A and B are shown apart, each in its own frame.
Chain A
Amino acid sequence: MALSADILRGYTDTIILKRLSLGDSYGYELGKQIGCISQGGLEMKEATLYTAFRRLEGSGLIRSYWGDAQSGARRRYYAVTPEGLERLSRDVENWQETKQLLAKLIEEEPE
């Protein structure tokens, strides 16, 4: 899993943009969805998510807003921006190319 962990790390932002393109969400919910979809293969901890959110927000790819207060503390929601959607579609294209290239390079060739 060492190689795939490296690859996954390179796609943290893309994964978050993809999830947010399907609907606004907050840190815990997003992390949980990622854990469920990957069947536990990818776990994003608070610190990872928090740094990614700040990075994406800083480059204008997502924006955040606060939900209603529940017993004193509010939930912070994230939404993807039009720029974020553009980046996502470019990332997805890149991934398709990378995937095909890697398959050619490392998978067994048919007889």
Chain B
Amino acid sequence: MNPTIVKIIDLMFRGMPEREEIRAMREELLTNSQARYDDLIASGKSSNEALGEVLDNLRGVEELLDEYRREDVQTSAPEQPFAYARFEKMAEEIDRRFAAAADDVKSAADRASTTAEAAFGTAMESVRTAMDSFASGFNGRSAGFDHSGAAGSGEWVRSNVYGGGELLVATADPAHYPRVRVELAADEVELLPSGDGLIHVEIDPEDESLLLVEKTGGCFTLRRNPVSVEPEPPAEDEQQEGFFGFLNKLGRMMRGTIRQMRSCCGLIRVKLPAGLAMAEVQTASGDIGISDLQLGGLSATTASGDINISDCSITGDAAACNTSGDTDLHNVKVGGSLKLNATSGDIMFFEGSVSMVTANNVSGDTEISGVLGQVQSNSVSGDIDICTYDTSVTGIFANTTSGDITVGMEEVLTPAVTANTTSGDVQIECDTDPASAVRFRLSTVSGDICVS
């Protein structure tokens, strides 16, 4: 038996009821898949190609298994669809207990020596820091995007299941799927060019969790199947009451959280052929890297990861949204409009070309340079730095509350400049013409303005 086939079948049957009917089905699918694999290998296919075809042929089996699962669920108590909600509740519970336990420690320390107090304090602090980071990781993950479709309320066509064990490759023909969507949580995502004109998905060889591929309505969607982690049974020493009992329980919860997080943090590589109509990537906390692609449209969204886009050419519109991570675009050509949004991260657009760019930031800095048409940039406390390489610029509109605004021009231009600042300095080092078609409207409350 090929171990990967056994693993794939086992992943599909995970959580299935132990019934003779199910065991027989597993055995039948296993021997059929192995026979198919052997046949493909004998015909000269590579192991990865053969596994891909085996997987393709198992399409629809998940739905069959779901029916069996539903039959069983009807007789048992309803289960929470995802671990997320459970973990969020857990985080609240941890916070509540922490406050109570901290009070306990304080009153105990009043009676004990100061060394004991210090030791407890340090231990508590380190546990709290760890919990905070896990909790924020989770909140980011669950708030990042809507999983309701996956919960069974919407259309969720599971056409394939890919499991790890060795590097597996999912392929699709872009002629049928001109749109590609990637929706993941803590995974790092890379979009790279494909060498053979097909869409490829590559998974970290260490990754043991499931990815779901949905192929509907011309859209190829890749999602992480949230893994429900079985809670660890309480150990005997946890039966004890009081602070130590609590610490043991806390440890168990943390181990569960770590297992859960580990199961959802891989590196996913998606290789795309040139000329796809649209590529969309969403992650909650993972980084997004996109390079050397030619696309009709592009959208990248992450809450706390970084976004790096380099050497890409987009014929239509593009957008990058980020909350706390940095957004860095280098040598990107956008034919349509480009929207860049960030909250506390920096926005950098270097050496690219775009006909219309809108950049919104709160506390991060914004730097835009290249062949620019119209630029609209807003920020609250971040600085705005814009540099145009040629005479194609038609307008620069920049607003900030406390940041500085700097506009640089590499070619000689005589723009119409309106610069407003309440308490800052204005410095204009070029000729201006109020009647010019090239308009710069720059305004800040307390920052400085410089045009050169």
Task: Determine the chain B residues whose CB is within 8 A of the CB of A71 once the complex forms.
Answer: 1
Q: Does A55 contact B (CB under 8 A)?
A: no
- What's the least CB distance linking B308 to chain A, in Å? 40
Task: Determine the chain A residues whose CB is within 8 A of the CB of B157 once the complex forms.
Answer: none
Task: Determine the chain A residues whose CB is within 8 A of the CB of B35 once the complex forms.
Answer: 26, 28-29, 75
Q: Are A70 and B31 in contact (CB under 8 A)?
A: yes
Q: How far is the CA of A75 from the CA of B28 in the complex (A)?
A: 6
Interface hit among B53-61, B232-240, B435-443: B53-61
- What's the least CB distance linking A52 to chain B, in Å? 12
Q: Are A45 and B28 in contact (CB under 8 A)?
A: no
- By secondary structure, the B interface counts as helix
- What's the least CB distance linking B44 to chain A, in Å? 17
Q: Does B29 contact A (CB under 8 A)?
A: yes
Task: Determine the chain B residues whose CB is within 8 A of the CB of A99 once the complex forms.
Answer: none
Binary contact track B21-34/A, C-beta < 8 Å → 1, others 0: 00011011111111
Q: Are A48 and B60 in contact (CB under 8 A)?
A: yes
Give the number of A-B contacts (CB < 8 Å): 56
Contact of A46 among B27, B34, B60 (CB under 8 A): B60
Contact of B59 among A26, A32, A47, A72 (CB under 8 A): A47
Residue total for A at the interface (Cβ-Cβ under 8 A): 19
Q: How far is the CA of A75 from the CA of B445 in the complex (A)?
A: 78
Q: Does B103 contact A (CB under 8 A)?
A: no
Q: Does B181 contact A (CB under 8 A)?
A: no
Q: Does A39 contact B (CB under 8 A)?
A: no
Task: Determine the chain B residues whose CB is within 8 A of the CB of A47 once the complex forms.
Answer: 58-61, 63-64
Q: Nearest residue in A to B9 (C-beta to C-beta)?
A: A73
Q: Does B390 contact A (CB under 8 A)?
A: no
Q: How far is the CA of A12 from the CA of B1 in the complex (A)?
A: 30
Q: Does B206 contact A (CB under 8 A)?
A: no
Q: Does A9 contact B (CB under 8 A)?
A: no
Binary contact track B100-111/A, C-beta < 8 Å → 1, others 0: 000000000000
Task: Determine the chain B residues whose CB is within 8 A of the CB of A46 once the complex forms.
Answer: 29, 32-33, 57-58, 60-61
Within 8 A of A (CB), among B58-88: 58-61, 63-64
If A46-B29, A47-B58, A70-B31 are given as contacts, then 10 extra A-B residue pairs at C-beta distance below 8 Å, sorted by A number, are: A26-B32, A27-B28, A28-B31, A28-B32, A28-B35, A46-B33, A50-B64, A51-B64, A73-B1, A73-B34
Pick the 8 closest A-B CB pairs, nearest first: A47-B60, A28-B32, A28-B35, A27-B32, A76-B28, A75-B31, A47-B61, A73-B30
Residue ranges of B at the interface with A (Cβ–Cβ < 8 Å): 1, 24-25, 27-36, 39, 57-61, 63-64
Residue contacts A-B, CB under 8 angstroms, 24 given: A26-B32, A26-B35, A28-B33, A28-B35, A28-B39, A45-B57, A45-B58, A45-B59, A46-B33, A46-B57, A46-B61, A47-B59, A47-B60, A48-B60, A50-B29, A50-B61, A73-B1, A73-B27, A73-B30, A73-B31, A74-B27, A75-B31, A75-B32, A76-B24
